[in-house]
Structure 1
């Protein structure tokens, strides 16, 4: 073996040969002291691997040449060339520790075990047998098991000495909880990393079972001291892990171990911003895992805020500036962790998104950086190219870090200066030379630095924005005279400068503003000048300011929103423009400030997702909520609706969505909501009462259908539309449900309907999802809330009025059981294609139309003239076209069944043209008029205006509609 190694060394690069020969000499001397080392099966590939590892790592070379049995064990066991499963390190360490009887033996055993595993991990990493994820996972598992098993051994020993710690309140034995922080907490430990730990225990009390009791805190402090010593103390065998306890509450001056109550109190009252970053990566690594998870849950509100929290940007800048100053002071520009474009900047980018949005998106509440990058890409929070570049840069930087640290098993991130170490790093990174490797490293660091600046812009990059707003700063702070302030606003184009200044002055003098804490007031004072600057670039400046001030007053107690807009000029620009264009949008934002989050991504703001994407997004959001958290589910449903309706409104205002698409999207949003609401309600009812049954005794599998009428049925929802719904089921109303608390199936479905209405109708601080109108169900308000499909058909055949059949033309299955939906369509077809006498039908339709016009149309000034035209209800308006379509469906579906195929008027008109009931050009003209009128109603709704316009509007269109009504319905030609 020695001669084979010597031969392999002779062909290595000259730069390595001296060190390799010295290592070989050490190995020969070590072998002399041993009886034998089994190397019979070591072929050329194994020996080549040994020499390659020696070239790249002095640590591996020294450990394997001094301890050849370690080398033999790693090779012959196969561990060096195979991956560990999740239990390998646990089982191996447990086997070693079970023979330990004293603390000195424990200390030695841990170090020998660590040496073996570190040689394996560094060897595999440098030779790229394992990738980054496997290396960091193995390192983290090594630390986890070492800490946990050491703690377990020491805990028992401490109990033998001082008794078992018992909780004062619970009366149960207590164990320590060890939190791993930093890269250990994130399963990303370096090959030569120290470990950051925090010690805690569930509750105060005293020990029991010893001659002399001590307080629990004293017990756990002693246990913690012994654990740190066992891991951190350097002996002849080295150390296990350098252990850093400075991240604990109060730092080095704080107690080594705190109770859960003391931990919570500290973070709630004294926790600092940097400690939020630290806690992102916190994880229970040892001790009482069940209690540890309870502790982590209690600390989450400190880390993740319920609102979108952009205040983190400033603290990130402060931390980055502090690190940059230290890097410059110590000349550490070559530090690939702390230097520009280094590992820390990638971590800051990811942590910023976690802290900003983690309170609302639990998928961001993970410690692993790579997992968070994936979420950021999936949610569109970072572009795919940015995620790709950050991911590649992070892997490259971490691999270099390991290449550097693996040389001597030292905690360093400085690029090496010696020629031999540079050559080692280049080879470990699979580059032919250092220059090529350094060039690639520079590209990655530039990419990281660019993305960091884009996301967390330094203060100097924002100086121009601040400068532009200085003209308004004195005005806002009251430093200008009233006359000068009004003149300033006039100069910047405010149409009503006196009114605008009065609004600003009133805001400044409000008690809520006067009583603001320093930080909140600073945020407001920074925001108002930026806001006025942006408003000055828009039209309707005074009106826009008036609208936005409603939002400002709504968030005075939640000044993080000012930070959001200060930090995101693009979002501020969208806010001002949208409020300038639409008072309805301004009102939505003021009532639900969380919607400001939607302004951050203009691409998604003006590109509403398609139906399938909407359904999938809502489903994914609800999956993150515990099934039992009914209130949170309702909040998700409310916010989802408001956010996506805002996107549709923004797109319509910008002109990127035509009318038909606007209605489609608004209808799809409602369908996505109903799809989830019915599932939530069904799950709650079946958990309580079991499943309803059918007539044949089989179990109903969501045999419930929601039928939409009116605007939703006709795929014509507006921004403020309510939902006209009918509920159907196919169960046997008299049979009991299957649960222990069974009820009749009819009662079950009634409660299901009530629960659905409750979810949709309930008013909370977040508003309601939809207002539901159930008056179109059989027998109206006096009828059953939910009826069987058979009862529905029976009613439609024998008792329904003509106007109810008119309503049925616009009915559509929208949620629930697909099979029941198909059955409903069959019933609808049977009802609609009945032969009807045209004379009776004509009379019924005309009478109903006149009733609606009289009660809902604009009122006459005198007998002959209307001052206004009601777009929907007056003669020649939308309802005339709708009734015309309904008359056609009811009067001719028996002859032309394609008429009843659709529930929307545009396609019914198209079919009327194809069937010859109308001339094609007549049908097309009616369609265009219908779309024009509905489009104007939408636009007026966004301006918070009603559907009445000047009588001069649509003169020709109204005349055409009236003529078609007279021709097709009145005279039936």
Structure 2
């Protein structure tokens, strides 16, 4: 065979060695083998660049030409590796002793490593294929060795069994790169061994404890994989990540392991277990172990201590890197693979308990989730993805040179040329330039995420020291403390000092550990410095101190506020602007998570984005954990409403748009609550069916919102006025489950279930207060009405005020047909001709009754909602107009909102143009004031001197139109 001409196209420095190895191959390979290679142009073309950059491949092919021939004849070199287990099971049939087992595994490893490396270096395999192939190979070889050794050992020592005599397996957990199915060419494999239960072996005269059996088995497995023979090794096994490290037992039972992680494990062990995966054993048993460990890895709260833990780990790595002179290490050095892993995994540790989608082992999958949840921007996720791919391919190609475990860049020109060429660069300098580009971007993001933002950059040290002196030294020295507070601008220094002293003596602070008290001593001066920048310092400090007392025992939150001074400043600002926000965060500290990204804080989700966001939040929750699902609904609501409130305070939203957002959040949660309740009931009783003109059909159900929910005018603490309707009728109205229910009973239980989901007080509070008294018959009426009964009631028994209420009624969730039927009924009822005089009389009478019972106005105070000239007067004027004119102007029924109706009145000249303008302005002004007061936790009552012009105008138009 002639030398392939492509050798001459290699970099000059690489040609001599590859030509020598090619000659060795020609000397050892049979004529038939050479002919077979010539008949494979794809392989032959790839051979020069592959051999040039991998001495491991070239030397083995030259020394063992049959190996290359086998890869060619089998077609394996050109196909993605799969089904290693099948091939190894066949190989195990030929194994007679441990020596032959070890030889078989090593030869098989060499063959498959050449195959995987060749495909990678030839450009036929993606990074994902290469990493998975290497990981699958390792899994299969561990499993094969374990299977053979287990059978041999049980023949000698008996079968390890539990107290019921059931055989016990050895569970092999893979951590690190193997756990994440991201193994590289020459990586160690990090393993932990465990077995389910204590017991002893059965089937032999002299039994052994399970512990003794599995220690012996583990030792044999490690020796089989790790021991260096003339054929090399299979994988270097690292057991240092097991409980208690190198001093710990080689194997532990599940109960002992769970106890260790609960009582003794350190922060870095949480990090290690993020990638834990069952690599070998009966999978369901291994999954039981992983399930018990999950609460240790992923806390149910947001765990911001992960920042400090990973930062400490990185500091130790950097210290070791510097000590060993490993700064050119692409894994451990600045901007290396480890920094990408830490950048992603810190968010897994912080949020994984609440966002199970982050409980992933594969880094690229984690990156995709971080991008989807907007924890990392799309741009950041993309350059981390690009850098990770570049660095991992570099690592693989570096190790493929000689099948040697290294992540350190070569210093000799020959290997530098090999690596640069394998990465597609014309020379080393171009490669290094690209490498540095990726490393700098990675390190910058790592620093932003992991490294603490020093508060000294945001706060002069003199200012911090001043407040630290007050807090630590002068808190019980009234005169200097009060002087400092007055000097800083506090109006009631005595009261502020008293609150600080109260915090120090509070039960929650007295119970703090030394570490917790150190955090508090750092945080309080930062809070004081941030508070003095606010205009209402006294109110702000009292709100902040109440918040701190509520979270003092939860060190993760103190850590967050220290670690992220910008979050602290944002928190202080929001608490200064809104007592309601301060109270919400004090009661539900999980909301602090929403402050992490200032870009998202003031940019609430659009109404059309809510359903998908909620579904994503619920998607990975256990289907049978109702409490967790209900908590998640409540957390979703509070987070979304906080964004809306922040945006309104910042001036980004008008009061009308704010209400649109709040109504959209309520609608979304109502839809989900209905879906959850429906799934629960239909699982028990089946679907509700009925007959309509002898045609069998599924009965529908809908929820109608009245009042502010129907009129899309919700505020921050509004309850929901809702009515439940269904369209089932006929003689046969039954569910189709094994246990049937009459449809009427089914729908009552459905409504009760929905109310339960909305109003039950969980650790995350309630979702919404619900008022269903607007249903036909009020409190004495049925909880759920059929549409037929509802129609009859509206025609025959409803009062005028109930038709008024129907003006602001809107179907907000349920079956589309049922919702459409309700809307038709609404329009039919409101379109009925009415006596204008009777309408006016009924509305005035109802308004007077409401004022007598609900108006909280006094001589000095004005009730914005119920007072004379207030919101309700405007609503009644508009509703009277709709009842009077809807028959002639059906377009009035296209909306349920008061302001859109006023615009229609002006368009059709039903109200005086000036009346529409003044009533619209007053309505907006009133609602803006109600929102402002709600955000300050104040009732909608103001001093009599306020809003005088608007009140006079509303009273004027009331007299003109109604009296």
TM-score between the two structures when normalised by the length of structure 2: 0.97
CA distance in 2, matches of 1:443, 1:769: 49
Q: Which residue of 2 aligns with 1:4?
A: 3
Matching residue within 181, 187, 197 for 1:187 = 181
Name the SS for the 2:299 alignment partner. coil
Q: Which residue of 2 aligns with 1:142?
A: 137
Q: Which residue of 1 aligns with 2:853?
A: 855
CA distance in 1, matches of 2:763, 2:192: 39
CA apart distance, 1:35: 8.2
CA distance in 1, matches of 2:708, 2:458: 49
When structure 1 is superposed on structure 2, of 11-20 and 635-644 the one drifting more is 11-20
Q: Which residue of 1 aligns with 2:502?
A: 506
CA distance in 2, matches of 1:962, 1:743: 54
Q: Which residue of 2 aligns with 1:814?
A: 812
CA distance in 1, matches of 2:80, 2:784: 60
1:456 aligns with 2:455: no
CA distance in 1, matches of 2:455, 2:713: 47
1:910 aligns with 2:903: yes
Q: Which residue of 2 aligns with 1:863?
A: none
Retained in 2: the 8 A contact 1:231–1:242?
yes
Q: Map of 1:435-834 to 2, 5 A cutoff?
A: 435-457=429-451, 465=459, 467=461, 468-479=463-474, 481-696=477-692, 701=698, 703-732=700-729, 735-834=733-832
- Output the aligned Cα RMSD: 1.8
CA distance in 2, matches of 1:700, 1:805: 31
CA distance in 1, matches of 2:508, 2:9: 79
CA distance in 2, matches of 1:585, 1:531: 17
Q: Which residue of 1 aligns with 2:87?
A: 92
| Structure 1: gaps of 5 or more residues | 861-865
CA distance in 2, matches of 1:959, 1:289: 76
Retained in 2: the 8 A contact 1:535–1:576?
yes
Retained in 1: the 8 A contact 2:689–2:733?
yes
Q: Map of 1:410-449 to 2, 5 A cutoff?
A: 410-449=404-443
Matching residue within 39, 55, 59 for 2:56 = 59
| CA deviation map 1:176-222 (0-9, x unaligned) | 11000001000110111110000000001000001211000111111
Matching residue within 955, 962, 968 for 2:955 = 962
Matching residue within 232, 238, 262 for 2:232 = 238
Name the SS for the 1:945 alignment partner. coil
Matching residue within 334, 343, 365 for 2:337 = 343
Q: Map of 1:885-896 to 2, 5 A cutoff?
A: 885-896=878-889
CA apart distance, 1:899: 1.2
Name the SS for the 1:727 alignment partner. strand
Q: Which residue of 2 aligns with 1:868?
A: 861
Name the SS for the 1:831 alignment partner. helix
| CA deviation map 1:318-354 (0-9, x unaligned) | 1111111111111111111111111111011011000
CA apart distance, 1:901: 1.7
Name the SS for the 1:814 alignment partner. strand
Matching residue within 818, 843, 846 for 1:845 = 843
When structure 1 is superposed on structure 2, of 391-400 and 73-82 the one drifting more is 73-82
Matching residue within 118, 125, 144 for 1:123 = 118
CA apart distance, 1:462: 5.7
CA apart distance, 1:44: 4.7
Name the SS for the 1:625 alignment partner. coil
Q: Which residue of 2 aligns with 1:358?
A: 352
CA apart distance, 1:12: 3.9
CA distance in 1, matches of 2:698, 2:671: 15
Retained in 1: the 8 A contact 2:474–2:480?
no
1:409 aligns with 2:408: no
| CA deviation map 1:402-439 (0-9, x unaligned) | 11101000110000111111111111110111101100
Name the SS for the 1:694 alignment partner. strand
Q: Map of 1:245-324 to 2, 5 A cutoff?
A: 245-324=239-318
When structure 1 is superposed on structure 2, of 69-78 and 277-286 the one drifting more is 69-78
CA distance in 1, matches of 2:684, 2:659: 38
Retained in 2: the 8 A contact 1:181–1:197?
yes
| CA deviation map 1:817-873 (0-9, x unaligned) | 11110010111111000011111111101100111112222455xxxxx32222111
Retained in 2: the 8 A contact 1:702–1:816?
no
Retained in 1: the 8 A contact 2:37–2:69?
no
CA distance in 1, matches of 2:209, 2:844: 89
CA apart distance, 1:8: 4.6
Name the SS for the 2:3 alignment partner. helix
Retained in 1: the 8 A contact 2:857–2:867?
no
Matching residue within 370, 381, 391 for 2:364 = 370
Retained in 2: the 8 A contact 1:692–1:699?
no
Report the CA distance shift for 1:702/1:224 in structure 2 as closer, same or farther (over 3 A).
farther
| CA deviation map 1:258-303 (0-9, x unaligned) | 0000100000000100000000011001012111101101001111
Q: Map of 1:154-173 to 2, 5 A cutoff?
A: 154-168=149-163, 170-173=164-167
CA distance in 2, matches of 1:942, 1:429: 58
Matching residue within 99, 104, 111 for 1:104 = 99
| CA deviation map 1:725-767 (0-9, x unaligned) | 0000112386332222222111111111111111111122321
Retained in 1: the 8 A contact 2:37–2:72?
no
TM-score between the two structures when normalised by the length of structure 1: 0.96
Name the SS for the 1:742 alignment partner. coil
CA distance in 1, matches of 2:781, 2:125: 70
Retained in 2: the 8 A contact 1:700–1:731?
no
Q: Map of 1:71-90 to 2, 5 A cutoff?
A: 71-84=68-81, 87-90=82-85
Retained in 1: the 8 A contact 2:453–2:565?
no
| CA deviation map 1:354-385 (0-9, x unaligned) | 00111100011011111111111111111111
CA distance in 2, matches of 1:503, 1:859: 34
CA distance in 1, matches of 2:417, 2:404: 18
1:381 aligns with 2:375: yes
* Residues paired across the two proteins, number: 959
| CA deviation map 1:584-611 (0-9, x unaligned) | 1111111111111111111111111111
CA distance in 2, matches of 1:500, 1:581: 18
Name the SS for the 1:377 alignment partner. helix
CA distance in 1, matches of 2:649, 2:6: 74
When structure 1 is superposed on structure 2, of 381-390 and 289-298 the one drifting more is 381-390
Report the CA distance shift for 1:622/1:45 in structure 2 as closer, same or farther (over 3 A).
closer
Name the SS for the 2:235 alignment partner. coil
| CA deviation map 1:911-966 (0-9, x unaligned) | 11112211334323321211111111110111122222122222222222122222
CA apart distance, 1:685: 0.8
Report the CA distance shift for 1:466/1:412 in structure 2 as closer, same or farther (over 3 A).
farther
Retained in 1: the 8 A contact 2:801–2:846?
yes
Q: Which residue of 1 aligns with 2:870?
A: 877
Name the SS for the 1:695 alignment partner. strand
| CA deviation map 1:683-740 (0-9, x unaligned) | 1111112222223477765711000000100000111111000000112386332222
CA distance in 2, matches of 1:859, 1:404: 81
Name the SS for the 1:828 alignment partner. helix
Retained in 2: the 8 A contact 1:691–1:700?
no
Name the SS for the 1:408 alignment partner. coil
